[in-house]
Structure 1
Amino acid sequence: MATRENEEDAKMPSDVSGRLSVFDRFATHTSNFVSRAWFFVLCVLLVIIWAPSYFLLDSTDTWQLIINTMTTIVTFLLVALLQNTQKRADDAVQHKLNALADGLSDIMAHLSKNYPDLDHDREELRDAVGLENRENTR
């Protein structure tokens, strides 16, 4: 029998608030911004502009340090922001899967009157996806 480790975390789509924090909205806008083709072209243009600066700088080390520092900072910040949007997307998919599993469980409960074997399968389904037993209020 499967354990219900995330029973408190399991939410249905109707339980999820549509309100996003300021950081979540910022992360979403940033994700939309950097996922466009022109952003990639902008990054390539920056590298093309950086490359000839080799002739303007006295040291090769300084020249390399400039691009290494810029790319490290941008990568670090974008990974944090994109991780936020990915986690929220994963959570949304999980909520939808919970709703599907809950609906299937309800159908199986209804049909188990005629097919008693479905009751055992229904319990296995609920245990496998971590759905808690709730009373039907409808």
Structure 2
Amino acid sequence: MGNDDRPHGAVMPSDVPQRLSWFDRFATTTSGYVSHAWFFVACVLLVVVWAPSIFVFGTVDTWQLVINTLTSIVTFLLVALLQNTQKRADEAVQHKLNAIADGLSDLMEHVGGEDPDVDRDRRELRRAVGLEDRESSA
């Protein structure tokens, strides 16, 4: 069923656009790489290589500045990318939960018939997940 066939106008997971922007694809790929153990090992190796480099830089200040700058930049960029990925994952879960709640509401309406208790529970379910708000704004 598409959105046009839905009696309550809930967005179904299959109705959510699957096309991702280049940034979303890049963030997803990056998230996949940094979530593996080898990325952590690479970070540890970077610190192991950096530690004896104090002899190359000559001063402790320069030596610390190098690692602080590097880790700050990497952290800043990774937080932005991972936030993008997490936001999309949260939205996908929300769409799925909304679809389940909408289906349950439809089932309660069909099975409950004129039972006022079931109708009250159905309305409460729709309000709890915000389906009533989406109906009025659609």
| TM-score bracket for this pair, using the shorter chain length | 0.7 to 0.9
Matches for 1:54-69 after TM superposition, within 5 Å: 54-69=54-69
* Comparing 108-117 and 44-53, the one that deviates more: 108-117
Indicate the residue corresponding to 1:19 in structure 2: 19
Q: How much does 1:62 deviate?
A: 0.1
Are 2:55 and 1:50 aligned? no
Q: C-alpha root-mean-square deviation of aligned residues, in Å? A: 1.8
Aligned partners of 1:94 and 1:134: how far apart in 2? Answer: 13
Aligned partners of 1:126 and 1:94: how far apart in 2? Answer: 14
- For structure 1, the residue ranges without an aligned partner over 5 or more in a row are 1-9
Indicate the residue corresponding to 2:120 in structure 1: 120
Percent identity, please.
73
Aligned partners of 1:14 and 1:60: how far apart in 2? Answer: 56
Matches for 1:24-35 after TM superposition, within 5 Å: 24-35=24-35
Aligned partners of 2:37 and 2:14: how far apart in 1? Answer: 35
TM-score by structure 1 length? 0.85
Matches for 1:24-103 after TM superposition, within 5 Å: 24-103=24-103
> What is the CA deviation profile of residues 76-98 of structure 1, one whole-angstrom value per residue up to 9, with x for unaligned ones?
00000000000000001000100
Aligned partners of 2:134 and 2:51: how far apart in 1? Answer: 63
Indicate the residue corresponding to 1:107 in structure 2: 107
The change in CA–CA distance for 1:31 and 1:115 in structure 2 (over 3 A counts) is: same
Q: How much does 1:115 deviate?
A: 3.1
> What is the CA deviation profile of residues 48-70 of structure 1, one whole-angstrom value per residue up to 9, with x for unaligned ones?
00000111222110000000000
TM-score by structure 2 length? 0.85
Q: How much does 1:14 deviate?
A: 2.4
- For structure 2, the residue ranges without an aligned partner over 5 or more in a row are 1-9
Aligned partners of 1:133 and 1:53: how far apart in 2? Answer: 59
Between structures 1 and 2, the one with greater helix share: 2
Aligned partners of 1:59 and 1:133: how far apart in 2? Answer: 62
